Structure 1
């Protein structure tokens, strides 16, 4: 099937780059509460004063009452619809470009993807393949040989590199074709979010990004690449403020946040921040204390700070602030109060930042 490889790569690309985050429902993080707009006649919805239920002695519930009751959920649905449209548009554009490029080179789409993606990723060393096989052998069906599972191991170890190369190739195609996405954006809601916490960037920067994050969330770790790109691209225009939002199903995240705050007392918040994200599968208290030692912190002060739980109140205050402004998944970024949720690519940040900078001229 010619499109199988292309579609698989597209799915991986889009899933990894658009609207990904940690939350209970495994769905795009909900945005901040918004006032439900009055439906138009064209929407096919009842008018706000339409009675949708009665009870008691002539008491009524209107369609407007119902919308007000579920306005958060409706707002989230609107955001998901826009996100799906953007994701679908991105996929459609890339599919068309791949088809055109394959035709131009007199190749099938599968051959094009193989040449530009698969063939440009070196196979992992044999020693690494065998090591993974030995580590997984006990969990494999009895009698499973190395040669039988080698292709799957290669795919597993090469997968992320192939996704990255696919992103690069698709970006090249879009650049060469001068792709301009003109899908209309709905009005962006702006929230007032306190920029309190560890920060990078000039204090008087015209753009402030407040990030709510969870050290155990893999999407938060993935988002760091985009955030670093933003800081490099806008060194004088952007200030980043980090706030803590450990999700309740990430049991080690609260203590990891406390560890970062204890490190902040010794001037090494960002060093600990990077260390925690680099070691997301090892966030137990002994490991946290080990990271403090690796960072040459005063371990006596750090251990006392961590064991006392004295930073827990700061973490809880950040959680409360995040919930107040509509955060229910991580990472969540407020760019001058405008919500951008999930592990977004650099271009998503850029579109909001450039619009904000233009508005300030």
Structure 2
């Protein structure tokens, strides 16, 4: 197992893509073509990402309904203990917070929200007070439910679906971090994708927190719905040829979603790239081939949207908070310490 520490587990994850996929021999046969069986395992493997996305949606719906039911049970239980209706119990609990709103607080809110309030002063004060009432009532109800939850010793055993692990090729594209880093984070993104842009500060924070433990690999997934996504994706490799991919990457996202065809050369000039080399690259087939390779891998993986992340092959779709990325990165780092193969960290999955 020591070899993992020497060459980096992220590289092993990438190398795994060279191995053939295995399908269980005992899987039920769903159909035959010319006598050749199509098994349930074969279809499930091909659909593992969309099936996981459905599991996540089911989990979210279940969690929402579970939360609602817990609150209803807590309030009904507390109201019954006091011989009240739920409505009367909740009203009494929040009334003190509402009654505590002062004229000074209303005046301060009018000043803060002046641009959104009507010009009539009396009407402005009414709307400001209504906003404060909603906020205070919501806060009071949340505090009430939290207190009742502690008193009732509420426990939740609903488990978050475990993301699938897939062999993900890293390609020869741009990467940040050490080649032998134990964790490889591959991002498939689109320069016109607003969620990808929102994810940029999160990834910068990951760089800061894990300077030697995480390697970040960028791969292109320009969506057809974004007219400048493909041209931007094809311009970025030309900056990469001059060792300025990440600066160009950041500049593209800073300009998005207002990218224009004239921006690509202008951004290169701003970054002081060699203009002739950049233009020659843009007019060549090299960037087109690089993006086409990324898109071929997108299709092979069955990806459907951006951003998509893989942490040592573990699939995460859409915007991810820093806490979520840290959770999976830390699990992989713990796996290194435990001698567990990369991506094989399902035992760390938690509830809710």
Q: Please, what TM-score do these two structures have when normalized by structure 2?
A: 0.59
For residue 331 of structure 1, the aligned residue among 307, 330, 342 is 307
The answer to whether the 8 Å contact 1:34/1:71 transfers is no
**1:217 maps to 2:193:** yes
Judged with a 3 Å threshold, the aligned counterparts in structure 2 of structure 1 residues 62 and 204 are, in CA distance, closer, same or farther, namely: closer
Q: Secondary structure at the match of 1:107?
A: helix
Q: Does 1:79 find its partner at 2:56? A: yes
Give unmatched runs, 5+ long, in structure 1.
1-32, 40-47, 54-58, 130-145, 149-169
Q: Which residue of 2 aligns with 1:238?
A: 214
The equivalences for 1:174-253 within 5 A come to 183-196=158-171, 197-253=173-229
Matches for 1:270-281 after TM superposition, within 5 Å: 270-281=246-257
> C-alpha deviations, 1:150-179, integer Å up to 9, x for none?
xxxxxxxxxxxxxxxxxxxx9xxx9xx999
1:303 alignment counterpart: 279
In the alignment, the residues of structure 1 paired with residue 274 and residue 155 of structure 2 have an alpha-carbon distance, to the nearest angstrom, of 52
What is the aligned partner in structure 2 of residue 159 from structure 1? none
How far apart in 1 are the matches of 2:236 and 2:68? 38
- Number of aligned pairs? 260
Render the CA deviation track for 1:163-220: whole Å, top value 9, x for unaligned: xxxxxxx9xxx9xx99998642334321111223211122221111011010011111
Mapped partners of 1:181, 1:297: distance in 2: 55
Does the aligned pair in 1 maintain the 2:23–2:42 contact within 8 Å? Answer: no
1-structure distance, mates of 2:208, 2:217: 15
Q: CA deviation at 1:71?
A: 4.0
Asked if the contact 1:212–1:245 (Cα under 8 Å) also holds between the matched residues in 2, the reply is yes
Q: Highest Rg: 1 or 2? A: 2
CA RMSD of aligned residues (A): 4.7
State the Cα distance separating 1:313 from its structure 2 match: 0.6
Distance 1:290 1:333 in 2: 30
Q: For structure 2, list consecutive stretches of 5 or more residues without a partner in the other structure.
A: 1-20, 75-89, 121-141, 338-352
1:88 deviates by 6.9
Q: Given the alignment of the two structures, is residue 291 of structure 1 paired with residue 281 of structure 2, yes or no?
A: no
Q: Give the drift of 1:91.
A: 9.3
Q: Summarize deviations over 1:9-40 as a string: whole Å, max 9, x none.
A: xxxxxxxxxxxxxxxxxxxxxxxx9989x99x
